[in-house]
Chains A and B, each alone.
Chain A
Amino acid sequence: MSVPRYWREIPSRYRLIGSKCVNCGKTYFPPRRVCRECGSVSLEEVKLSEQGRIITWATVYDPPRGFEKYVPYIVAIVELDDGTRIMTQITDCEPDEIHVGTRVYAVFRKIREEGESGIIYYGYKFKPLK
């Protein structure tokens, strides 16, 4: 991945920056320029909630290239407390510790690295609230 392609997504991946429609209130992650609910182009940048609950999840055993050493790992759709949905890894727990509805919060983690000398990708993961 080129450095600019990684760098331009940093606000969303490091700080959960999304956008909110000024007209209808719908929120998006990552930010959008056009609201798909009402068609408005008046959207403003917002910081999204750092807590939410698991809607559904899966445990990956057959990874794509670059994720081999993390197997098995958990991926989930989380609905944040402000209603925005996000795709994330669930970390620091085992699959039998979570269920539909489990409360989780955002943490900052390494996602993967690109070989010996490439970019180290960072971003959010979520972890169960104990």
Chain B
Amino acid sequence: MRKVAVIAIGYTKVKEHWGLSIRDLFTEAAIMALNEVTIDRVDALYVGNMSSGYCQHQEHLGALMADYIGLKSPPAVKIEAAGASGGMALREGFQAVASGLHDFVIVGGVEKMSDVLTPDITYAMAMAADQEYEAFIGVTFAALNAMIKRAYQHKFGVSDELMATLPVHCHDMASKNPYAQYPFKITVEQVLSSPFVAEPLRLLECSSPADGAAILILCPLEKAKEFTDTPIEIVGVGAATDAIALYQRDDLTTFKATIEAANIAYKMAHIKPEEVDVAEIHDSFSVTGVISLEDLGFFEKGTAAKAISEGEIAPGGKIAVNTFGGLKARGHPIGATGVYQAVEIVKQLRGEAGKNQVDNAEIGLTQNIGGVGGTVTVHIFRRVR
């Protein structure tokens, strides 16, 4: 298997882009990435996206985006795995380059949610759950995560105040991020006084609908230095699946697929969790992020929220997490999120993270969840010396 590096990144601001279509968003991010490097061909394109079929009535995104970003008829395909579409697209791109099938691959993620109304977005999100036995009875995606939150707090006795510390942290980070959806700080009191979306989850504990696109260009590590002085190697890839129906899980306080995906990625990268300098984790809801910090091996079960309140995931703490605001505050354009996470780790490892830079960041990790843990990808990145 060949070693694989990221040689270019591109992205749009995350927000409601009323003036831009889904193809405009993807093209804007792709132009930014293609301006970073001079390559004479692209061998394949992978597009992470969840809901274009429902929100735009547009499928066949692979060929559409290849055409609009000016590629010369490469193989191109949309990759869909709910919220983990971006992470799975990255995995596909990695496999194509590592295997030797392709040299230059574009991995993108895009989501355009503001084309439909809120009840339709809620409906689209519930498509990540079991349609016939969860969505059929009116269960929303937020309600599934609210059930997880109740089970988690019931088991570990973690207070509402402590659960609120993750969104507060993410907004702190986003306040210094120019492309974040919500670049401002919030307080624990504001979280606890915001209305319920699905009790016990409050509005400020939930990521919200967004539009955005992010791009990575990959090539073999051995060629990467010809195109950039700061290639970032992908040293570990892990992915796993689980029952997509929450009620068919025995333990609601852990995502088994995260543990499995992380173990595979750590083993491949020959590292332990404590060696990770910076991580972008999937905090679609407060509890989802808290559980992920534990499942990834950064904190013991039941202790992550307390660790957050003690500054352990801020730059300078035990591990810097969601340094651009995470899903909560950078924003969560569903199928693009896994690619945004990778873009952010690349910025950190290149030393281009601006006011959010983590000193001497060498190893970074992304964790991207589809549904309530039905699919999880974990990628590990390393600065090339």
Interface size of A by Cβ–Cβ distance < 8 Å? 39
Q: Is A93 positioned at the interface, with any CB of B under 8 Å from its CB?
A: no
User: Which are the 5 A-B pairs with shortest beta-carbon distances?
Assistant: A58-B146, A59-B199, A65-B119, A64-B123, A87-B247
Assess A89 versus B137: contact at CB under 8 Å? Given A58-B147, A65-B122.
yes
Interface mask (A97-125 → B, CB under 8 Å = 1, otherwise 0): 00010000000000110000000010101
Contact across chains for A68 and B119 when beta carbons are under 8 A apart? yes
Partner among A56, A61, A65, A66 whose Cβ is within 8 Å of the Cβ of B195? A61
Q: Is B120 positioned at the interface, with any CB of A under 8 Å from its CB?
A: yes
Sample of 15 A–B contacts (CB below 8 Å): A13-B136, A58-B143, A60-B139, A62-B122, A63-B138, A64-B122, A65-B119, A66-B123, A66-B138, A70-B138, A75-B139, A77-B147, A77-B247, A87-B133, A89-B137
Partner among B133, B148, B198, B245 whose Cβ is within 8 Å of the Cβ of A61? B198
Contact across chains for B150 and A85 when beta carbons are under 8 A apart? no
Assess A65 versus B138: contact at CB under 8 Å? Given A58-B147, A77-B147.
no
Residue on B nearest A8 in the bound complex, by CB: B132
Q: Is B134 positioned at the interface, with any CB of A under 8 Å from its CB?
A: yes
Interface mask (B233-252 → A, CB under 8 Å = 1, otherwise 0): 00000000001011110001
Interface size of B by Cβ–Cβ distance < 8 Å? 38
Known: A58-B143, A61-B197, A64-B123. 9 other contacts (CB 8 A): A57-B147, A59-B199, A63-B138, A64-B140, A77-B147, A77-B246, A85-B248, A87-B245, A89-B138
Contact across chains for A63 and B140 when beta carbons are under 8 A apart? yes
Cα A104 to Cα B198 with chains together (Å): 21
Interface of B is mostly: helix
Partner among A56, A60, A65 whose Cβ is within 8 Å of the Cβ of B150? A56
Cα A59 to Cα B200 with chains together (Å): 8
Interface mask (A79-97 → B, CB under 8 Å = 1, otherwise 0): 0000001111100000100
Q: Is A67 positioned at the interface, with any CB of B under 8 Å from its CB?
A: yes
Q: Which residues of B contact A68 (CB under 8 A)?
A: 119
Mark B residues whose CB is within 8 Å of A: 118-120, 122-123, 126, 130, 132-140, 142-144, 146-148, 150-151, 154, 195-201, 243, 245-248, 252
Contact across chains for A100 and B154 when beta carbons are under 8 A apart? yes
Partner among A9, A59, A85, A100 whose Cβ is within 8 Å of the Cβ of B198? A59
Instruction: For the complex formed, measure the closest distance between the CB of B177 and the CB atoms of chain A, giving whole angstroms.
Output: 27
Q: Which residues of A contact B199 (CB under 8 A)?
A: 58-59, 61, 72, 95
Partner among A28, A75, A88, A121 whose Cβ is within 8 Å of the Cβ of B143? A75
Q: Which residues of B contact A70 (CB under 8 A)?
A: 138
Q: Is A128 positioned at the interface, with any CB of B under 8 Å from its CB?
A: no
Assess A30 versus B133: contact at CB under 8 Å? Given A59-B199, A63-B122.
yes
Q: Is A55 positioned at the interface, with any CB of B under 8 Å from its CB?
A: yes
Q: Which residues of B contact A100 (CB under 8 A)?
A: 150-151, 154
Contact across chains for B119 and A56 when beta carbons are under 8 A apart? no
Interface mask (A10-49 → B, CB under 8 Å = 1, otherwise 0): 0011000000000000001110000010000000000000
Cα A123 to Cα B195 with chains together (Å): 30
Interface centre among B135, B137, B140 (most CB of A within 10 A): B137
Instruction: For the complex formed, measure the closest distance between the CB of B241 and the CB atoms of chain A, giving whole angstroms.
Output: 12
Q: Which residues of A contact B137 (CB under 8 A)?
A: 75, 87-89, 111, 123, 125
Cα A89 to Cα B138 with chains together (Å): 8
Instruction: For the complex formed, measure the closest distance between the CB of A70 and the CB atoms of chain B, giving whole angstroms.
Output: 7
Assess A60 versus B143: contact at CB under 8 Å? Given A9-B132, A100-B154.
yes
Q: Which residues of A contact B198 (CB under 8 A)?
A: 58-62
Cα A50 to Cα B134 with chains together (Å): 18
Contact across chains for A58 and B200 when beta carbons are under 8 A apart? yes
Cα A23 to Cα B233 with chains together (Å): 47
